[in-house]
Chains A and B, each alone.
Chain A
Amino acid sequence: DAGVIQSPRHEVTEMGQEVTLRCKPISGHDYLFWYRQTMMRGLELLIYFNNNVPIDDSGMPEDRFSAKMPNASFSTLKIQPSEPRDSAVYFCASRRDRGLTNEKLFFGSGTQLSVL
């Protein structure tokens, strides 16, 4: 299995631009999570989906952030408009709801976002 795949690995953009981060979870996984990692705040849960349905988006910082999961193999996190304080590493993670590994989160390699 290829694992959780995120793209792009690095994104540099200017303030005000729209940014779209992409994630392909592991096939067969029921849950998908978006996390943001910064030095100041550590690892924060932004939103998670179960069977493509958003379950908890209480961690989304504000209306500039939105996430979608149109099907079981793809999710996007969009920031519009972006601001310098959005600069962080954004991780996608997935897990199964059944089986021996159902408690294990599998993380992608992350997207390093820099907003200038």
Chain B
Amino acid sequence: GDSVTQMEGPVTLSEEAFLTINCTYTATGYPSLFWYVQYPGEGLQLLLKATKADDKGSNKGFEATYRKETTSFHLEKGSVQVSDSAVYFCALRNNFNKFYFGSGTKLNVKP
């Protein structure tokens, strides 16, 4: 079945460090791919998305490129801030309108 696998956390970085959170997926057809972010005590919020191969989603300095050949959608940011500390979820929407989420990766950014 369709699924999303992302790197386990927590990931701890110093402020201004480079961030990569790996995400790979399994899906039939042509899914749309997403990154959601969850701040403490809140629900998930859409961070960025890509709907077809080679698309790059970007928002708030975060980027991810839809790589069909490697079935990946890795999240990157060049310089993280303390305010980026949160849990990040990779997700896909398949051709049947079902969303599948990864297990989440907690990011801790230290000043």
Contact = CB atoms under 8 A, between A and B. Distances in A.
A105 B99 contact: yes
B75 to A, nearest CB: 16
Contacts of A108: 43
A104 B89 contact: no
Query: Which bracket fits the contact residues of B?
Result: 20 to 34
Q: Which of A41, A50, A104 has the most CB of B within 10 A?
A: A104
Interface in B22-73: 32, 34, 36, 41-46, 49, 51
A48 B43 contact: no
Given A103-B49, A105-B44, A42 B104 contact: yes
Nearest to B49: A103
Interface residues of A, number: 20
A104 B49 contact: yes
Secondary structure class of chain A's binding surface, majority of residues: strand
A109 B82 CA distance: 22
A90 B31 CA distance: 25
A45 to B, nearest CB: 7
Contacts of B100: 45
Interface in B58-109: 89, 93, 97-104
B30 to A, nearest CB: 13
A43 B89 CA distance: 9
Contacts of B41: 109
Contacts of A33: 99
What are the 6 A-B residue pairs with the smallest beta carbon separation, nearest first?
A: A107-B43, A42-B103, A43-B101, A107-B44, A104-B46, A109-B43
15 contacts: A33-B99, A35-B101, A42-B101, A43-B89, A45-B99, A45-B101, A50-B97, A91-B43, A91-B44, A104-B49, A105-B46, A107-B43, A107-B44, A107-B45, A109-B43
Interface of B: 32, 34, 36, 41-46, 49, 51, 89, 93, 97-104
